[in-house]
Chains A and B, each alone.
Chain A
Amino acid sequence: MGVDPDRPAWSEQFNADVIQDLFQDGPISRITPQWAFGDSNGKGVRVAVVDSGVEHDHPAVGKSVKGGVVVEYDKKAENLVRYDADDPPEDVAGHGTACAGIIHSIAPRARIYSVRVLGSNMRGRAIQFAGGLDWAIENNIQVVNLSLSTSSEEYYSLFHDLADQAYFKNMNVVCAVNNYPESSYPSLYSSVISVAAHDGYDPFTYYYNPNPPVEFGAPGIDLEVAWKDKQYVVSTGNSFAAPHITGIIALIRAKHPELTPFQVKTVLLACASNMNKPRNKPGRGKPARK
C-alpha cells in the first residue's frame, strides 16, 4: 500500500494508487448522482455543525446560519451540561466556520445550526461533545457534522447510545476520523458515516472504502477554508473531509426526504466515484446544480 507522508491518518486508503474499483449490479446500480442529488440545493434541510461555533456573518456561510447554542459543562445541571443560546452564533476558534463554509458551498439552501461545544472547562469536553450531539437529536436535525471525537474509552458507551438514538430518529451523523490513528468515538461506529481526506479538490469526487471502519474519502488536503474573523486559511485534515459528505447528504435529503439514514448511506455508496456500474459507466460526474 502506498503511503503518502502528507496525509492525515486513516486517509492512506484513499491514495490514488490504492483506491479500489468497486462494482455494483442490480437495482442499486441504477442510482446515479443525477438522480441522487442533481439539481438539489439542500433547501430546508436542517444541518448542525457541532464544533467551535459558526461565525454567523462570515461571507462563506451567506445567510445560512439559522440558530446556535453553546453547550457548557455544568456540574449542577442535568446530564452535566447546560445549553445557552448563542444569538447570533459565534466561533471561538475558526474550525466550525470552516466546516460550515464547506457545507454551504455544496448545499447553499441548507439551514445551518451552530452547536458550540468548546466550553471553558477541560473536564467536561467529552460530555460537551455528547451534549452537542444530544441537542441535535432533540432538535430534529437531519444531518449533523461532527469533526470532533473522543479517544477516551470512558465515553464509548455514551456515544454509542447517542449514535443509536440519532439513527432511530432519522438523523445522519457524519464524523471525521482522527488525524492520528487512534480510537475515536463516535466516528468508528457502524451507524455513523465516517470520513477521511483524499487529496482531490472537486467537492463531488468522493470514494467508498470497502474495508471499514473508515468508509468515505472526500477532499481535505491543502484546502482554503473560511476561518474566524472573516478570514480564510489553508488547512489539512480529516475534519474538512467530513463537511463535504455532510453537504452532499443535505442535497440528497432535500431531494429525497423519504430516505432513512441507512438508505442515504446506500445512495452515497452507489454514487461514489470509484463505483463502476454496468449501465451508466462511468456512473459519476458532477451533477448540475441550481
Chain B
Amino acid sequence: MTASKVTGDNSLSSELKQLIKSIQAGSHAILPRFGDDLLNSIVETAARLFNAAAASILLIDEEEQLLEFKVAYGASSHDLVGTRFPLNQGIAGYVVMTGQPLAISNVRQDKRFNQDFAKSTGYVPKSILAMPLKIDEKVIGVMEVLDKISAASFGMQDMDLLGTFAHQAALAIDLSQRQDQVQRTMLLGLKRLARNGSNLKTSRIEKVLEDTSQIESDEELLALADLFNHISSLGEAERLACLQVLKAFADLSQSNRRTRHGR
C-alpha cells in the first residue's frame, strides 16, 4: 500500500481495510500457513510408519477447556474430526493433563462384570499410544496412534519415535497459531486506533509508522516484541507479575506526565 494512493476522499474504514489486507498478505509471506494439510500428512505418515490402523491429533481449546479432534486418519476418521470432549476425560485427557506419553494394549473387561462395554463407550481400540504435543513446557494437544497391526502393543521404541513426530506437529501448530495471534493483535490495535481517533487518516497512521525519528530504534522495538513473546510463553504467575510491573510503570509515567503538565 502506498501513501500516494491515499486521498482525502477515502473513508477511514476503506483505508483500514486496505491496511488490514496488506498486513494479512505480509504475515502470510513471512509465516506460511501450515493449516490442516501438513497435520493430515503427519498423521497419515505416522499411521503408515507405525503400522497402525488409525492416527489422530487432538488440540486443546483453551477458552472452552475442551479437547477437539483436529485431524484423523484411518477408521472412522471423518466422524472424529471436530468431536470435542472434556479435558479431563480418557487417555488423551490424561496425557494432556500430565504431559506424559501413555501406551496401553490388550484392553479387556473384568469377567465378573456383565455390562456391555461396547454399548457404553463405542469403539474400543486394542492398542493405543498417546503422546503429548508440547511447545516448550506447555501442552497444546495430543497425538495418538491406534491399533498396531504388526504387534499386540506399542513399545517404548514406538514412543520415542512418535515423540519426534509429535514435536514436528507441535511446531507446525505453534507457527500457525502464532500467525493468527499476530493478526489478531494487529487488528485489535487498528480497531482501537480507529475508535479512539476517528478523524485520523490512514495516511497519517502510515506517516507515523514511516517516521522512524519517533521510534528511537527498530532493534529496541524488536527486542521488546521478543520480550513480550517470551513473557507470553511463561506461566500464569509470571505473566501476572509482568502485567503488574508494566501497569505500575504505565501509571507512574502517566502521573509523571500529569505532574509535568500540571505545573
Interface contacts beyond A92-B89, A150-B99, A230-B109: sample of 5 additional A-B pairs, CB < 8 Å, sorted by A: A6-B156, A120-B65, A180-B163, A231-B108, A237-B103
How far, in angstroms, from A239 to B101 measured CA to CA in the complex? 11
Contact partner of B100 (CB less than 8 A), chosen from A119, A123, A180, A231, is: A180
Contact A123 B137 (CB under 8 A): no
Q: Which residues of B contact A229 (CB under 8 A)?
A: 109, 117, 120-121
A residues contacting the other copy or chain, number (CB 8 A)? 40
Contact partner of A95 (CB less than 8 A), chosen from B94, B139, B152, is: B94
Q: Which residues of A contact B108 (CB under 8 A)?
A: 231-233
Question: What is the 8 Å Cβ interface bit string for chain B, positions 64-105, against chain A (1 contact, 0 not)?
Answer: 010000000000000000000011111101101111111111
Contact B160 A119 (CB under 8 A): no
Contact A233 B137 (CB under 8 A): no
Q: List 20 A-B contacts (CB under 8 A).
A: A5-B155, A5-B157, A6-B155, A7-B156, A8-B156, A60-B110, A92-B89, A92-B93, A93-B89, A93-B93, A118-B88, A122-B65, A151-B137, A154-B234, A154-B237, A231-B108, A233-B106, A235-B104, A237-B102, A237-B103
- Is B60's CB within 8 Å of the partner chain A? yes
How far, in angstroms, from A125 to B60 measured CA to CA in the complex? 14
Q: Which residues in chain A, 115-155, are within 8 Å of chain B measured between CB atoms? A: 118-123, 125, 148, 150-152, 154
- Is A206's CB within 8 Å of the partner chain B? no
Closest to A228 in B: B90
B135 to chain A, nearest CB (A): 13
- Is A178's CB within 8 Å of the partner chain B? yes
- Is A86's CB within 8 Å of the partner chain B? no
Contact A122 B104 (CB under 8 A): no
Contact B65 A232 (CB under 8 A): no
Contact A122 B121 (CB under 8 A): no
The number of residue pairs between A and B whose CB atoms lie closer than 8 Å in the complex comes to 118
- Is A236's CB within 8 Å of the partner chain B? yes
How far, in angstroms, from A224 to B161 measured CA to CA in the complex? 24
Contact A234 B156 (CB under 8 A): no
How far, in angstroms, from A58 to B109 measured CA to CA in the complex? 11
- Is A37's CB within 8 Å of the partner chain B? no
B87 to chain A, nearest CB (A): 6
- Is B113's CB within 8 Å of the partner chain A? yes
- Is A52's CB within 8 Å of the partner chain B? yes
- Is A243's CB within 8 Å of the partner chain B? no
Interface residue ranges, B against A (CB under 8 Å): 60, 62, 65, 86-91, 93-94, 96-110, 112-113, 115, 117, 120-121, 137, 139, 152-153, 155-157, 159-160, 163, 234-238
Question: What is the 8 Å Cβ interface bit string for chain A, positions 40-79, against chain B (1 contact, 0 not)?
Answer: 0000000000001000001110000000000000000000
Contact B88 A92 (CB under 8 A): yes
Contact A178 B100 (CB under 8 A): yes
How far, in angstroms, from A122 to B86 measured CA to CA in the complex? 11
Q: Which residues of B contact A179 (CB under 8 A)?
A: 100-101, 159
Q: Which residues of B contact A150 (CB under 8 A)?
A: 99
Contact A231 B101 (CB under 8 A): no
Contact A222 B91 (CB under 8 A): no
Q: Which residues in chain A, 78-130, are within 8 Å of chain B measured between CB atoms? A: 92-95, 118-123, 125
Given contacts A92-B89, A152-B235, contact A231 B109 (CB under 8 A): yes
Q: Which residues of A contact B88 (CB under 8 A)?
A: 52, 92-93, 118-120
- Is A207's CB within 8 Å of the partner chain B? no
Closest to B236 in A: A123
How far, in angstroms, from A123 to B62 measured CA to CA in the complex? 9
How far, in angstroms, from A25 to B106 measured CA to CA in the complex? 45
Closest to A8 in B: B156
How far, in angstroms, from A231 to B113 measured CA to CA in the complex? 9
- Is A208's CB within 8 Å of the partner chain B? no
Q: Which residues in chain A, 1-23, are within 8 Å of chain B measured between CB atoms? A: 5-8
- Is A227's CB within 8 Å of the partner chain B? yes
Given contacts A93-B93, A179-B100, A230-B113, contact A121 B87 (CB under 8 A): yes
Contact B104 A5 (CB under 8 A): no
Closest to B95 in A: A93
Contact A59 B97 (CB under 8 A): no
A61 to chain B, nearest CB (A): 11
Closest to B99 in A: A151
